[in-house]
A and B are shown apart, each in its own frame.
Chain A
Amino acid sequence: KAGVTQTPRYLIKTRGQQVTLSCSPISGHRSVSWYQQTPGQGLQFLFEYFSETQRNKGNFPGRFSGRQFSNSRSEMNVSTLELGDSALYLCASSAQTGVLYFGPGTRLTVT
């Protein structure tokens, strides 16, 4: 089975721009979660989608949003980028009661 895939793998943006990251889950997995990893804050939960509905949300500002499509693929969007948004963004997929499998991540650099 193919694993979780994320695109793009690397991204450089300028402050004030917006960015969209994409995640394709493992086939058959309907839950997709997003996490932000930074050296200072560690791994933090952003949100989770299940069957196209946001099921859980972390403590991030409204600039961070996401969605899930009918094929379970998910996107997250960050608007009005700030320097502090530079991070590794990890997507994870899961069968309903199973382990979370993480993708390779998208490394976002905001300059």
Chain B
Amino acid sequence: ELKVEQNPLFLSMQEGKNYTIYCNYSTTSDRLYWYRQDPGKSLESLFVLLSNGAVKQEGRLMASLDTKARLSTLHITAAVHDLSATYFCAVDKDKAAGNKLTFGGGTRVLVKP
């Protein structure tokens, strides 16, 4: 059974500093996604990572994937208040079989001035 673990569960950030969220998964998988969720809102897609060594960047967020270590990281550069949200990683084990995401528990990020 595929298991996805994120850490930390909660991250209190200072504006201007850099932080990393980690996502480990237990079995070989096809795709890894990062989503953002604001309180009371739905999930917003941030990144899709398809292959080993994949790196994607959007603004202050950068995601990378190491399939050998079964690890993805979401790096936040120079945190700003607008990045306060809960971040989820999700893994799709077998894309050919359709869409079935297994989510991590989420990392709640609070950026303080």
A68 CB–B CB distance under 8 Å: no
By a CB distance below 8 angstroms, the chain A residues around B104 are 42
Set of chain B residues within 8 Å of A94, measured between Cβ atoms: 99
Chain A residues bordering chain B, tally (CB within 8 A): 23
- Interface membership of A66, Cβ < 8 A: no
- Chain A contacts for B48, CB-based, 8 A: 99
What residues on B are CB-neighbors of A50 within 8 Å? Answer: 98
A56 is an interface residue with CB less than 8 A from chain B: yes
In the complex, whether A48 has a CB less than 8 A from a CB of chain B is yes
Residues in chain A near residue B102, CB distance under 8 A: 45
Contacting residue for A102 out of B43, B100, B106, CB 8 A: B43
Residue A55 is within 8 A (CB to CB) of chain B in the complex: yes
The A-B contact count (CB < 8 A) is 55
5 closest pairs, A vs B, by CB?
Answer: A43-B103, A55-B98, A102-B43, A56-B100, A102-B42
Which A23-60 residues have C-beta < 8 A from chain B?
A: 31, 33, 35, 42-45, 48, 50, 55-56, 58
Q: B41 in the interface, Cβ–Cβ < 8 Å? A: yes
Closest to A101 in B: B45
Contact flags (1/0) for A96-110 with B, using CB distance below 8 Å? 010111111100000
Q: How far is the CA of A93 from the CA of B95 in the complex (A)?
A: 14
B22 to chain A, nearest CB (A): 17
User: Would A100 and B101 count as touching, CB distance under 8 A?
Assistant: yes
